[in-house]
A and B are shown apart, each in its own frame.
Chain A
């Protein structure tokens, strides 16, 4: 596993304390997991995603991400409806490892309350929380 300094935390996304990132795009939010999360999990073998149209409350479990020896639940950092899922992950779950913020995006959500997005952590706050 890598040192914090070797990991990547872009400025243009916000982070949750479950190690997910969210990016606002035209009123919808793209969700994935951070570089720290994928590094901790190791080689990802499978990502279980919800269906398009599924709705979740803030904190709701929307899927799981699996490595060979572990499973992690994914919790939505804001409530909303799933409008798209990344179908590439079915055949190429490794995208979450190699390109967690772009090619490894997981779901696109129409938020119930866009203000929820502002509650997420900035990059600096998130990185600080990792240092503890």
Chain B
């Protein structure tokens, strides 16, 4: 492993919180009481939870140690396909933590909340501009939440037209959240196979589309990293039978400033602010999944909505056809504000970001095409899909390649998704990776391929440099231990 990034470091172990501490320690500065103590009756009062008592230093050491076991975007390249692990700008963190925003109560009169309302209003407009769809709701708290909102919009729209349709067409390359969201609204998922070129064929949609089908959920670009070239024709087919088109915007990072989603015939689109718009992934959220819709669907959007009034903004519930609410308040405002700051920082360079994201993915594709088997040999968008076909000859798999990449100092790409590609290795570098980092990544993958031929044990035993080696997921599922 000459010149590889992965080295050995001093990794400190750390017990559980409840294995630390001593009764009576405090990590918090308890406020002084300036009022008398009042007792609640005994039948209501309990002993309090069995939490450990830790000093402030113990808390700091504990979490500092834990953080050193994590690999984040700030640590190194994180080419997870369809996740868009781009750099999370630090200025966004500064803006979100301004007390005026961080301490804002959501239920105060609008006159006391003008700053946040302007941010929401302007962000809606910017997202509308980027997607081409005129009406936006920021309320969904994640992409899947946006999909659920979209399905609720479909349901409401059909209901208004006195229709009760029971099916949704979903491509076989779809993310699992798509059929799961459709099912929550009582729709049956009808799979549509992608063709040899990795995209949907209009005839296949036409065969399946009927007047019992509420519409289609597409991802464009799709999860193979390809633009759905027949999308307009497909949208026409669906519309002709009275259906709607939902677009999963998870891969929007490939087409900002390049494609107009409304022009494609899309009726509802969700965006992932924690992908395309640089907000941090947080180890599993919080995200934000705004939906953008056509004028026709605008009346059904969740409430309340930000309205511009004389001298400012207000929140209005006065939308009688609204589907209601999917979030107690207005969605993840703390995340929306980061996306707002990002858009203000990038301006028209959002288009440059998409261009460079696509450049980076194609560069990786070209550089590795002779080493790994390419699932689809054509220009890709912002991500490309390889497989372990060549390496399987040496009895190593996608999983082993991924684990060995860890020893080289990279987060592995997405593995075994999309399901239509056996042994998929889906790589999305994003635009924030430099050519040097891409070259290091490419070099590492070439070295791993050589190791697969010459010394496959290195892959099968990987990772060796991490705090823990491969974990027993079978035991974790057979005898779940979910609390200490």
Contacts and interface: CB of A to CB of B under 8 A. Distances in A.
Interface of A: 43, 45-46, 66-69, 93-94
A76 to B, nearest CB: 22
Contacts of A94: 478
B477 interface: yes
A15 B69 CA distance: 49
Contacts, number: 14
Nearest to A43: B474
Given A45-B477, A68-B474, A68-B477, 11 more contacts: A43-B474, A45-B474, A45-B478, A46-B477, A46-B478, A66-B477, A67-B474, A68-B473, A69-B416, A93-B478, A94-B478
A43 B477 CA distance: 10
B398 to A, nearest CB: 12
A43 B478 CA distance: 9
A30 B422 CA distance: 35
A68 B416 CA distance: 14
Interface of B: 416, 473-474, 477-478
A86 B210 CA distance: 45
B51 to A, nearest CB: 32
B270 to A, nearest CB: 26
Contacts of A45: 474, 477-478
Contacts of B478: 45-46, 93-94
A69 B417 CA distance: 12
14 contacts: A43-B474, A45-B474, A45-B477, A45-B478, A46-B477, A46-B478, A66-B477, A67-B474, A68-B473, A68-B474, A68-B477, A69-B416, A93-B478, A94-B478
Which 5 A-B pairs give the minimum distances between C-beta atoms? Answer: A45-B477, A43-B474, A68-B473, A45-B478, A68-B477
A69 B415 CA distance: 12
A96 to B, nearest CB: 11
Nearest to A68: B473
A69 B477 CA distance: 10
A66 B473 CA distance: 13
B188 to A, nearest CB: 15
Contacts of B477: 45-46, 66, 68
Nearest to B478: A45
A67 B416 CA distance: 15
Contacts of A93: 478
Nearest to A94: B478
Contacts of B473: 68
A94 B477 CA distance: 11
A6 to B, nearest CB: 16
A46 to B, nearest CB: 7
A56 to B, nearest CB: 21
A68 B471 CA distance: 12
Nearest to B479: A91
A67 B473 CA distance: 10
Max chain B C-beta neighbours (<10 A), residue from A43, A46, A66, A93: A43
Contacts of B416: 69
B241 to A, nearest CB: 31
A31 B477 CA distance: 24
A49 B478 CA distance: 15
A97 to B, nearest CB: 10
A32 B74 CA distance: 50
A46 B473 CA distance: 13
A93 B479 CA distance: 10
A3 to B, nearest CB: 13
Contacts of A66: 477
A68 B477 CA distance: 7
Nearest to A97: B474
B46 to A, nearest CB: 33
Nearest to B416: A69
A46 B479 CA distance: 10
Contacts of A67: 474
A69 B399 CA distance: 13
Nearest to A46: B477
Contacts of A43: 474
A93 B416 CA distance: 25
A45 B480 CA distance: 10
A94 B474 CA distance: 10
Contacts of A69: 416
B389 to A, nearest CB: 16
A114 B416 CA distance: 43
A29 to B, nearest CB: 28
B404 to A, nearest CB: 20
B450 to A, nearest CB: 26
Contacts of A46: 477-478
A66 to B, nearest CB: 8
B424 to A, nearest CB: 13
Nearest to B473: A68
A40 to B, nearest CB: 14
Nearest to A45: B477
A91 to B, nearest CB: 9
Max chain A C-beta neighbours (<10 A), residue from B416, B473, B477: B477
Contacts of B474: 43, 45, 67-68
A124 B323 CA distance: 58
A45 B474 CA distance: 6
